[in-house]
Amino acid sequence: MRDEALLERLTQLWGVSGYEKLVREAIAEEVKPYADKVWTDPIGNLIAFKKGRGEKKIMYAAHMDQIGFMVKNIEENGLLRICNMGWNWAGSAYNERVLFRNGTVGVVGCYGPIEEAENKIEKLFVDIGAKDRDDAKRMVKIGDCCGYFGPYLHLAGGQICSKSLDDRLGCYQLIASLRENPGDLPNDIYYCFVVQEELGCRGSKVAAQQVLPDIGIAVDITPAHDYPNDLTGANKVGDGIAIKICDPSVVADEDVTDAMEQLCVENHIPYQREVIDRGGTDASSMNLTGDGVRTGGICVVTRYPHSQSSVVAPEDIEAGIDLMNAFSARSFDF
């Protein structure tokens, strides 16, 4: 990989939706030496601009936030009642460790058998080892958030396993592509590190209104279908970068997807066509900006998404960077 140490660092940063400050600060330091202009907007998006020859404005969006939980009540016995910050499966959270921004660690438990929770997060609690409510309040307040604790590891087959690959790997791809942007491309490129995607693609709505791009590309993950789970489709880890065709939130522009496929063939970049019938990305927000924006998606196929142990193939991540670079350097006739 180009800079695996950077990817590992990004995945391990704490940044639950709405509280991306630590991630934004780290990314800002990485992009400042390479961008012509860098700014943070009031909602917390970080935008790095690289000037080209101005044929098109291309916006890449990767979200900085990770899913997590917010404390909504502290019980008399010191257990924490929680609600979702993004989409969590109760089963994957059960018995797992979570981390608060102040360093407090907790374990997720369930009121009753997890099999009877029916994926209701209100059936879960977080145990931080407090003796009672007063003891818990010394460590955590109502409204504090926690995210999954999941170290960066390599599986025996070479795949990467970590928390927050959704979407710190997209942030990594944007940084890597910006580093390799020579500054004389036909297009002006906006590398947008956006907030609160997991809460409804909120940050990209604001960023796209500022940029008003000609083409908007969401750089994100997409669920795998190559292992036993409740989803069906063709997505396979290790089969190349996924070019978004359609999801419930957006139908990718035909000209954009055709251009991506052609570039993959010309540059020998392994790729697969991606269709999912659940979920969505920041492409949906960019698509509906202004008078409308041609949109597409560059996605890394991921097993066990929205968990502390997501799994991806490093070669798929790198193929995504190669596609971004080729796409940024292309002249478009639409």
Residues known to be catalytic:
197
Q: Which of 63, 16, 8 is nearest to 194 (CA)?
A: 63
Q: Which of 210, 203, 217 is nearest to 65 (CA)?
A: 203
CA distances from 166 to 66, 162, 163, 220 (A): 7, 10, 8, 7
Neighbouring C-alpha atoms within 13 Å toward the C-beta of 248: 5
Neighbouring C-alpha atoms within 13 Å toward the C-beta of 202: 14
CA distance 307 to 36: 36
Using a CB cutoff of 8 Å and minimum separation of 24, what contacts does 22-26 make? 22/101, 23/64, 23/65, 23/168, 23/171, 23/193, 24/64, 24/193, 24/195
CA distance 260 to 324: 9
Specify which residues 192 forms β-bridges with: 47, 61
Specify which residues 262 forms β-bridges with: none
